[in-house]
A = this chain, B = another copy of it.
């Protein structure tokens, strides 16, 4: 659809590079730093070129949300087919260093930053909610108790928030240990009352 055109510079098509740059700036600088000029510069595209692909800032946001939805769908597939199980995949990809291979983590974190009270912010919130709903549904396939499934998701969310604030993962507890402990907790009460 768009892939037929040749790559001019850098990685993929200019359009993808713009989206990549937008994500990076959103994550590293926040919404204030993700101006059209800054995005264009980071994507090694002129401002006019950026505006050619996304004719307004709102449409740039739209492009990010489309990517989020697309990656969420692709990630859900990987999650269900993961050898270690759904829970393991979910938690693993929620931790810094174990990001989703389709880049969902990056896109999710970037979208989080524009989930404010504006009109496009509302759309962002909606898109994030959809991703969360998909994740919960996948978790439920492995954990029958809906409350426990939700709990596991909240742990993942907490990990996300920590990544957002850039906190160096408190206390220096290895993240693998967290997964093991949670597993142990879950196993110790498999049949509940």
A interface list, Cβ under 8 A from B: 28-33, 112-113, 115-118, 121, 125, 128-129, 132-133, 136, 145-148, 150-151, 153-162, 164-167, 170-171, 173, 177-178, 181-182, 184-186, 188-189, 192
CB-defined contacts of A167 to chain B, threshold 8 Å: 125, 128-129, 132
Are A132 and B32 in touch, CB under 8 angstroms?
no
Copies of this chain assembled into the complex? 2
Q: How far is the CA of A145 from the CA of B173 in the complex (A)?
A: 11
Can you name the residue of chain B whose Cβ is closest to the Cβ of A117? B29
Query: Which residues of the partner chain B approach A189 to less than 8 Å between Cβ atoms?
Result: 184-185, 188
Contact of A164 among B30, B115, B173 (CB under 8 A): B115
List the B side residues contacting A31 at CB < 8 Å: 30-32, 116
